[in-house]
Every structure is written in C-alpha cells, then in structure tokens.
Structure 1
Amino acid sequence: MLVHPTHERLITLGLAGMARGFEDQRRSPDIAALTFEERLGLLVDREAAERETRRLTTRLKHAALRHNASIEDVDLRTPRGLDRALFQKLVAGDWIDRHEGLLVTGPTGVGKSWLACALAHKACRDGRRVLYQRVPRLFEALAIARGDGRHSRALKALARVELLVLDDWGLSVLTQPERETLLEILEDRHGRSSTIVTSQVPVEEWHAVIGSPTLADAILDRLVHNAHRIELSGESMRRITARRATTTETLDAREPS
C-alpha cells in the first residue's frame, strides 16, 4: 500500500496522532461532507488526545501505584465510615493545590490502600506528579541510598512529587535512622506538596509508633497538621467481595438455560 506523503510528513514532524487521524479521514466515505476547518479540528483534537494519553501513561508508570484503582470503582455502598461528601471533595483535588494531607486509618482489609491509590490515580489524570511508596520498603531503599551516596538525591526526588502516598505506615516502631529520615521527608514537603498516609494504627497511637518523644512531636506536627482524616471500619472488603462473587455465581447457576 502506498503511503500518502502528507502522512509521512506528519510522522516526521512527530505528529503521530494527526497522522493516524489523517489516514482515518482518507478511508472515511463521509469525510467530504466536512469543511476544511472541521477536518483540521478533528486532526488537532486527535493529536492532543493521544499526547495526553501518552503523558498519563508516563505519569502512572512513574507513580507505580500498588492497585489499578480508580475513583469510579470505589465502593460507596458498603458502610465502612467513608464520608461521601469528604470523598467528593478529595476527588476534586483542591486539597492538593492547598498542599493539605490525607490520613486514612482502619483495620486490615477495609480498603485503605485501594482508596489511596484511587485518589492518586485521579491526581495523575489531573496532570499531577504522583509517587506511591510502601513505608517499610521506602526506608530500606533510602538506607541503601545513604550507603552508596544517593540519599540526598532520593530525598529531592520525593520532595518534587505533588502527591506522595505513604502506605502501610506504623507496622513497627521506627528506628532512630527511620525517624530522622521521615522527618526529613516531611520537612521537605510540608507546605509545598501533599501526602497521603495509610495505617492500621489509629492516629492517636502514632506517637508511640515513632518511639522518640522529641522527634515524634516534630513528625506529627508536620504529618497531622492541616490533614483530612478518613477512619475506615467494618468487615474486610476482600471477604465482602468474595461473598458477593459467590452469591453472583450461585444466582447464575440457578438461571434456566
């Protein structure tokens, strides 16, 4: 098949979206009904849409979210302490513009990480730089970075993202190097960007998890101040989802063939 020279020129100029749109127009029998301005507008829209898709793909890859979650999939039906009004405010994203935080607590399985990843995914869709980190692995990575001279650079990378998700906070009492590292991270981000923290431990017990009264006061002042709170409760969402799936399968099996 011969390639149209205009298609080749668009590819050469890095306008792959317009090139694909141009080929689609060439194959469309109804395209002649459109004016030149309308056809050009469709090509520009195609290029813009494909560029935004590529940018979103890049942002999501960098974010490395634990769950492929989206706000549309968040379960608002199951009673578990998730305030709908607050959730909708968080979805809008203005709190990130104001550099506020979000603390999500509750027992294991109630959907803390899923909710955090859904909000982080929405932030990516809104064009924000996002990064997900499990706290235990983050501390391990930063300890290694300290040993090979990359520690300062790693901290700067954490400071640059607009939304940082710190998942599984408080699984064990922090060591002295971990306390100091966490304070550095929060100090760099305080008043400049937003952080989501998820934890099985209630906020009231975080002081004991940190371990050092002096550093605990400094860390919690930066972490808890000006932060929204979601306190989830109830049965594990994993069990609820499994039970719903079993019920659906049972009902399907009863349907007449």
Structure 2
Amino acid sequence: MKDSRIAARGLVLLGCGKMGSAMLAGWLDRGLPAASVWVQDPAPSLWVHGSGVHVNADLPSDPAVILIAVKPQMMGDALPAIAAFGGGDTVFVSVAAGTPLSAFEDAFGPASPIVRAMPNTPAAVGRGITAICANAAGQGALDEAEMLLSAVGDVVRLEGEHQMDAVTGVSGSGPAYVFHLIETLAAGGVAQGLPEDLAMQLAKATVAGAGHLAMEAEEDPAQLRVNVTSPNGTTQAALEVLMDEKSGFPNLLPRAVKAASERSKELADG
C-alpha cells in the first residue's frame, strides 16, 4: 500500500473489532508499515497487540487519516476525543452505520474532509463491498478512502449521501437475507429427508458457488437463471414458487430492501 501521507503522518484506527481488525489486517498485508498505525480501542482483537502497531498510545499530532469504526452508540463519546484534529487536512473516514455526514461536520467542522462508508460483513473475510460518499471538503479524499477500504473488498462511489439508505437496504443488510436463505434452503432439504448437517453443507456451498459464478460470469444473473432452468424440469417447478408475484421473491425482496432503507433513514434522522 503506497501512501506517503499515511506513512509520514500516520493513520488512526478508532475501533478495532471485527470490521476494524479486518481492515487493519488488509492494510498490513498490503505493505502499510505497522509503525504508521495507531489503534484506539479498550479491547482490540488479541492479535493486534503483536502486530507492531501502536495500541492505545498517544496519537500523532497531525494524522493523515482517522478511520472511525466504533459502534454508532459509542459515537457520542468517541467524536469529542478526536475533535481537535478537525479543521485541517486530516481525512475522517467513517464506517459507522446510520451516522450522516452532517453529524461529523458538526463535530469536526464543515471544512474538514469527511468520507462516509457503508461496508458489509463479508469485509471480515476480504469479500465485502463498500459504498462511499463525501462532504464538499472531502471530494478530493475519495481516492485515498477507496484505497484503504479496498483492503476488504470492492468499493463503489455514490452520486451522493441520498443513496446511502438504499445501499444499506441492498448490501449493508443484504448478507442477513442471504444467511436466512441458507437457513431456509437447508430446512427444505431436511424436510425432504436429508440429515441436518448434510443439508446445511449443500445449502452453504450452493449459495457460495452461485454467488461466485454470478460475479465471474459474463452473463447477467437473469441469463444464468435461464441457463439452469430446463423446460418443465425440477428447477422450473421450484422457480414457479419462488417467482410468484404475490408470495415469491419479486414481492418479498423489494419489500425487505424498502423496510431496511426506511429504517436506515429513521436512524439517521434520529
């Protein structure tokens, strides 16, 4: 990871739970010097102590980046502790759900470059996708934020913060929808006579493999579905249930995304 600003001035990671430690591991794997990183967390992941980074030590006087990875309910205590770094060219990157750019501008000042990011939980295994946007002062910081966040998966840029609630509904909350699909797919196998462990193994591998194929194939998912659906075959029989306009996926999933998006907006509005 080549970033002379960070190497010279340092990066502060505020919060080092699952998401924070996944990002830290990605940065170190990509060559970011451990001595350039300061971690602030009362109970960071255990491996962090032996990684060479500064743990709960005095912060550098003018860090290049402060990445905020604390839980939203801890934001009230965390932001005042770093407010003194606002007003300069320190870039603030937040991966905290439900906290809008305006909240950070209130804490650090509107002249501070601020990037808001929405990763999802597969970032913990380097297979996430993160959506980012920035305030007016932070538009020039998007390249640096994308470089940092790409350590845990793909990164996309939004037109503006107004799209963040929809992102929350699709990719932020989306892994839970897929986990529930795995649960219920395995339950269907058990109902048809499979042992629980075998049904779960089949369901996990099927969802993981189909997702990988969807990412790698030139065809879009609709065509991939057609490719595996023989006329009057077993897959068509199942899809007639799943694609029912009233009770199937075309009705259920848009409703789920809408519910998550609306709740995201409610949380941001306080």
Look at both structures and tell me which one has the larger radius of gyration over its CA atoms.
1
Q: Which has the higher contact order (CA 8 A, sep 6+)?
A: 1
Question: What TM-score, normalized to structure 1?
Answer: 0.33
Question: What TM-score, normalized to structure 2?
Answer: 0.32
